[in-house]
C-alpha cells in the first residue's frame, strides 16, 4: 500500500487490532493516522489494508461493518500544534518525522474547518526554532479560502480568517 494513493476519509483496517477507521493523514511515507472511534491512531503501512464495503447479492442491500463516514460535526476554533497536545504518544514519534506529523495535523484541521465553513481560526505553532512557524505560514498559502492572517501570542501563533464564494 502507498500512502500517496489514499484520500482523507478512506476506510482502512488495522490488521493487528482488527479495527476499522478512516484515513486522517500520514507521518512521512510509512506511518498513517487512522481515526478509530473518535481517536487518532498511528499505524505502519505494513499493518494496514483498505476496507471495502460488503454487498449482499441476494438482498441488493449494502451492509457495512462500520459507518462509512467519520464526519466531524464540529471543529474547535483553534489547534495547538505542540506534539504533547496532538498525541499522547508524542515521545514515540521518530524525531525526523515530528515536523511532518505537526504539518499534517494542521492541514487536516484546516481541511475540516473549511468543510464546515468556519470563518476564524487560530493555529498555535509555538516559537521554538521557527521551523514549524515557517511551515505553517507557507502552507496557508495553499488554501484560497484563507484571505487574511496575522500573528498572535507574541509570534507563537497565527490567526486566520476564511471566506467562501
Count of positions (residues) in the chain: 165
- Short-list 39, 37, 12, CA closest to 23: 12
User: H helices within the chain, ranges in order?
Assistant: 83-86, 98-115, 131-139
Residue 12 to residue 47: CA distance in whole angstroms: 10
> How much is the pLDDT for 39?
87
Residue 29 to residue 36: CA distance in whole angstroms: 20
Beta bridge partners of 36: 39
User: Domains plus CATH for the chain?
Assistant: 3-63 (2.30.30.140), 78-162 (3.30.1370.110)
pLDDT in tens, the chain (165 residues): 787 888 888 888 888 888 888 888 888 888 889 998 888 899 888 888 888 754 434 444 444 344 444 555 688 999 999 988 888 777 777 777 888 889 989 998 999 999 999 999 999 999 988 899 999 999 999 999 999 999 999 999 999 999 988
> How much is the pLDDT for 72?
58
- pTM of the entire predicted model: 0.57
Residue 100 to residue 130: CA distance in whole angstroms: 15
> How much is the pLDDT for 15?
86
Amino acid at each position: 500500500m502507498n500512502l500517496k494513493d489514499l484520500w482523507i476519509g478512506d476506510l482502512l483496517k488495522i490488521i493487528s487490532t482488527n479495527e476499522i477507521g478512516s484515513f486522517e493523514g500520514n507521518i512521512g511515507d510509512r506511518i498513517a493516522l487512522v481515526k478509530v472511534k473518535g481517536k487518532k491512531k498511528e499505524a505502519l503501512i505494513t499493518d494496514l489494508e483498505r476496507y471495502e464495503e460488503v454487498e449482499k447479492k441476494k438482498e441488493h442491500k449494502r451492509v457495512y461493518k462500520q459507518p462509512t463516514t467519520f464526519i466531524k460535526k464540529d471543529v474547535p476554533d483553534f489547534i495547538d500544534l505542540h506534539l504533547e497536545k496532538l498525541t499522547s504518544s508524542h515521545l514515540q514519534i521518530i524525531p525526523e518525522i515530528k515536523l511532518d506529523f505537526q504539518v499534517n495535523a494542521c492541514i487536516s484541521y484546516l481541511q475540516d474547518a473549511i468543510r464546515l465553513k468556519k470563518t476564524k481560526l487560530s493555529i498555535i505553532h509555538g516559537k521554538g526554532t521557527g521551523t514549524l512557524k515557517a511551515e505553517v505560514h507557507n502552507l496557508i498559502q495553499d488554501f484560497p479560502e484563507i484571505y487574511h492572517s496575522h500573528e498572535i501570542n507574541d509570534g507563537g501563533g497565527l490567526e486566520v480568517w476564511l471566506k467562501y464564494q
